[in-house]
């Protein structure tokens, strides 16, 4: 008898990969009074606790896992950061760097969600490799089509960036092309699911939960609600918490596979981070650091570019520096931008590498094959 390919179990998978994105959409359902932009607690929880936390949590996972840590990878990551830091300073002076950051962010979310789907479809891909490419195309279009419409029409109200920072003349001609590709890929996906269900005798519930969660967040959240805060709220909940979940599950399996569990203990990390309590402490710790960094940068910049979005009204009463657009300004502002660019590129590509450690993750169904 065929069984569903859950990563951990049906309850935890459903909660992390479907229920939480659904809740994030319901919280901001039309008519529900919730002003995200003016709530310090909400910004702290969403932006710092989840988005920055999952990024730093990923680095902690790499450098506390003996299967991942080596000198060449460390040099690669640090060198990559330094190069992008210098490039971002140059880009900020001549190009709309926020447009680059915006679409890189969508790219890395799309890659991550497709990466999760790939974990659920190993058996399907063995039947027909074309299904893997179909899933990839459909997953990317689910996200890029709504964001393209949001970007090129009057659907959005820009609370984060200045209007001129997101202008790309002529890009609206791409909408009909993307819409056609999207429609064709959606029909192809539905037909392939029908054929797979007949062939395997099983409808892949976890895979389609991820697809449905993305449809809810990106289409209802962006095209229907037309709200910037909803866009960020849903996306951060969806990809940040699912990333934490994957890191936690794989970390626990790594630890269980090691005969000597002490290898996971570092002098600067005196607990098993894959335990429930250890993961909670790590989660709180990395986000406390994240909030401090974000607050400092936002304060130094005087809130002129992101309209206090990251830390709410609390910071408005603090004294601010009047920083001119000189090299010092670009140096300061490039630090968080570079962190994000490194995050988006590195995070985006690790899900697609054929020989990457992530590809060794097995579902419960795989273990019984």
In a domain, 215, yes or no: yes
Q: What is the pLDDT of residues 109-164, one digit of tens each?
A: 888 888 888 888 887 877 777 888 888 889 888 888 887 777 776 655 444 555 55
Measured between alpha carbons, how far is 107 from 352 in angstroms, rounded to an integer? Answer: 12
- Residue 75: what pLDDT? 60
Beta bridge partners of 266: 269
In a domain, 233, yes or no: yes
Q: How many residues does the chain have?
A: 369
Q: Are 357 and 69 in contact (CB under 8 A)?
A: no
Q: What is the pTM of this model?
A: 0.74
* Phi, then psi, of 224 in degrees rounded to 5: -95, -50
Q: Are 98 and 334 in contact (CB under 8 A)?
A: no
Measured between alpha carbons, how far is 240 from 107 in angstroms, rounded to an integer? Answer: 14
- Residue 305: what pLDDT? 41
Which 8-state DSSP code applies to residue 209? H
Q: Are 200 and 122 in contact (CB under 8 A)?
A: no
Q: Are 122 and 366 in contact (CB under 8 A)?
A: yes
In a domain, 200, yes or no: yes
| Residue in 275, 282, 280 with CA at minimum distance from that of residue 251 | 275
Q: What is the pLDDT of residues 256-290, one digit of tens each?
A: 665 554 544 444 444 455 555 566 666 666 666 66
- Residue 170: what pLDDT? 65
Q: What is the pLDDT of residues 21-48, one digit of tens each?
A: 887 777 666 545 555 444 545 555 566 6
In a domain, 88, yes or no: yes
- Residue 208: what pLDDT? 93
In a domain, 366, yes or no: no
Beta bridge partners of 206: none
**SS3 for 269?**
strand
Measured between alpha carbons, how far is 141 from 145 in angstroms, rounded to an integer? Answer: 5
In a domain, 1, yes or no: no
In a domain, 367, yes or no: no
Q: Are 344 and 51 in contact (CB under 8 A)?
A: no
DSSP string, 320-348: -----SSHHHHHHHHHHHHHHHHHHHHHH
- Residue 270: what pLDDT? 44
Q: What is the pLDDT of residues 318-345, one digit of tens each?
A: 444 444 455 555 555 566 666 677 777 7
In a domain, 71, yes or no: yes
Total number of domains in the chain: 1
Cβ-proximal residues to 165 (8 Å cutoff; 6+ apart), any chain: 96, 98, 99
Write out the H or E segment, with its range, that includes residue 82. helix 71-94
Indicate the Cα dihedral angle 78, 84, 85, 87, nearest 10°.
150
- Domain range spanning residue 70? 10-360
């Amino acid at each position: 008898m065929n069984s569903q390919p859950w990563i951990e179990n049906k309850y935890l998978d459903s909660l992390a990969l479907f229920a939480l994105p659904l809740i994030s959409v319901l919280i901001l359902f039309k008519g529900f009074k919730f002003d995200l932009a003016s709530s310090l607690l909400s910004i702290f929880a969403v932006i710092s606790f989840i988005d920055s936390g999952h990024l730093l949590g990923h680095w902690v996972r790499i450098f506390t896992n003996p299967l991942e840590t080596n000198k060449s990878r460390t040099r690669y990551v640090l060198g990559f950061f330094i190069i992008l830091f210098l490039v971002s300073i140059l880009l900020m002076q001549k190009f709309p760097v926020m447009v680059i950051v915006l679409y890189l962010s969508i790219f890395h979310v799309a890659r991550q969600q497709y990466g999760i789907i790939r974990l659920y479809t190993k058996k399907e891909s063995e039947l027909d490799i074309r299904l893997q490419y179909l899933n990839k195309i459909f997953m990317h279009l689910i996200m890029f089509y709504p964001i393209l419409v949001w970007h090129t029409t009057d659907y959005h109200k820009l609370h984060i960036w200045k209007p001129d920072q997101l202008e790309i003349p002529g890009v609206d001609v791409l909408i009909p092309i993307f819409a056609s590709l999207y429609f064709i890929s959606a029909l192809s996906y539905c037909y392939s699911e029908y054929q797979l269900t007949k062939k395997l005798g099983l409808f892949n519930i976890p895979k389609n939960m991820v697809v449905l969660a993305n449809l809810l967040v990106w289409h209802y959240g962006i095209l229907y609600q037309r709200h910037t805060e909803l866009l960020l709220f849903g996306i951060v909940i969806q990809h940040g918490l699912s990333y934490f979940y994957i890191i936690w599950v794989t970390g626990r399996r790594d630890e269980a596979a090691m005969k000597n569990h002490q290898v996971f203990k570092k002098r600067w990390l005196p607990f098993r981070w894959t335990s429930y309590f250890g993961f909670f402490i790590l989660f709180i710790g990395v986000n406390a650091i994240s909030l401090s960094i974000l607050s400092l940068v936002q304060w130094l910049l005087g809130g002129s570019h992101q309209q206090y979005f990251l830390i709410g009204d609390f910071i408005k009463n603090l004294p601010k520096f009047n920083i001119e657009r000189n090299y010092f300004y670009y140096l300061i502002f490039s630090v968080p931008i570079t962190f994000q660019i490194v995050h988006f590129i590195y995070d985006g590509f690790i899900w697609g590498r054929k020989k990457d450690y992530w590809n060794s993750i097995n579902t419960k169904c795989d273990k019984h094959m």
